[in-house]
Amino acid sequence: MPTLAAVVKDLQEQWDLLRAWLEELPDPASPEPSTLPGWSIGVLVAHLGRNMDAISALRPVAPDDGDPLTLAEYLATYAAADHGYFDGIARDFAASIADDPLEHLDRLADLAFAHIAELAGADGQSDTVVVARRGTIGLRDFLVSRLIELVVHGYDLAPTLPLPAPIDPTARTIVAEALIEVARQRSGYAIDVDDQAAWIAAATGRLDWPAAVARGAVRPSALSDGTPDLTASLPLL
């Protein structure tokens, strides 16, 4: 797992790349459907701001708040969420920033990165435990969860424009490796990533397992083993 400083650096780089790509959208508040079922382009763009706002909401953990969740445990809370409720929040938030979505995203991102600097300490290496919206978690692991969101939704938005997907290669690697570690923990299989984009799509429910296998998303760690069937373990979040 990369250091906190490395995750922060790649979160910033992924955000900057995605933010520059958003400038090319004819209408970042567009009601046209995105590739994410039930979400418009405008709602998906606004959700990026909610993703950054979740960082600003972090608070250092109190001594009696219990053991922090691992990244795998934190991502598992997504499945138990009331998706209708959160879809409503996403749409309401999109409506609230529809006057100038990108200006609002800039403000939210600036606040988020300033808060990261406060939490990480003077040396940028204080992996403190924080209280997030879904439980307590280490700062580094929480920021990896935000990086997962930015990379996954970058791919969700990519078909909107005839441009390369707004995905930083190092961020993609961090996300792919984080998700394969979660898959190892949940499935018990010894597997490695071969095609990062295909694996991220499969791990997040954007690509079914037979198609992921056809694209060579993963390979067994031991060459003598066959590629396992991860259908029952996916999506991871």
Q: Is the pLDDT of residue 194 over 70?
A: yes
Are 159 and 199 within one domain? no
Average pLDDT rounded to a whole number, residues 10-33: 98
Are 163 and 181 within one domain? no
Percent of the chain beyond pLDDT 90? Answer: 86
Give the sheet arrangement for strand 129-132, strand by strand: 59-60, 129-132, 135-138
Are 112 and 188 within one domain? no
Are 51 and 100 within one domain? yes
- Confidence label for 63 from pLDDT (cuts 50, 70 and 90): low
Are 135 and 54 within one domain? yes
Domain boundary (149, 167, 185) is at 167
pLDDT at 60: 92
Are 85 and 132 within one domain? yes
User: What rounded mean pLDDT belongs to the chain?
Assistant: 94
Strand, helix or coil for residue 104: helix
pLDDT at 81: 74
CA angle 107, 112, 114 (to 5 degrees): 95
Question: Residues 114-151: pLDDT tens digits?
Answer: 999 999 986 767 789 999 989 999 999 999 999 999 99
Question: Residues 30-50: pLDDT tens digits?
Answer: 999 999 999 999 999 999 999
Poorest-pLDDT segment among 71-85, 106-120, 208-222: 71-85
Q: Is the pLDDT of residue 232 over 70?
A: yes
Beta bridge partners of 59: 131
pTM score, two decimals? 0.95
Domain boundary (167, 189, 218) is at 167
Poorest-pLDDT segment among 23-37, 168-182, 215-229: 215-229
Q: Is the pLDDT of residue 225 over 90?
A: no
Q: What is the CATH number of the domain that holds 23?
A: 1.20.120.450
- Domains contained in the chain, number: 2
Are 91 and 187 within one domain? no
Are 144 and 38 within one domain? yes
Distances from the Cα of 8 to the Cαs of 84, 116, 144, 202, in angstroms? 31, 8, 9, 25
**Where in the sequence is the domain holding 140, given as residue range(s)?**
4-167
- Written as six digits, the tokens of 186 are 């949940």
Does the N-terminal peptide bond of residue 63 adopt cis geometry, omega within 30 degrees of 0? no
For residues 36 and 15, give the distance between their C-alpha atoms in angstroms, rounded to a whole number. Answer: 20
pLDDT at 64: 65
Strand, helix or coil for residue 137: strand
Are 196 and 94 within one domain? no
Give the residue among 161, 193, 191 at the shortest CA–CA distance from 176.
Answer: 193
Are 144 and 234 within one domain? no
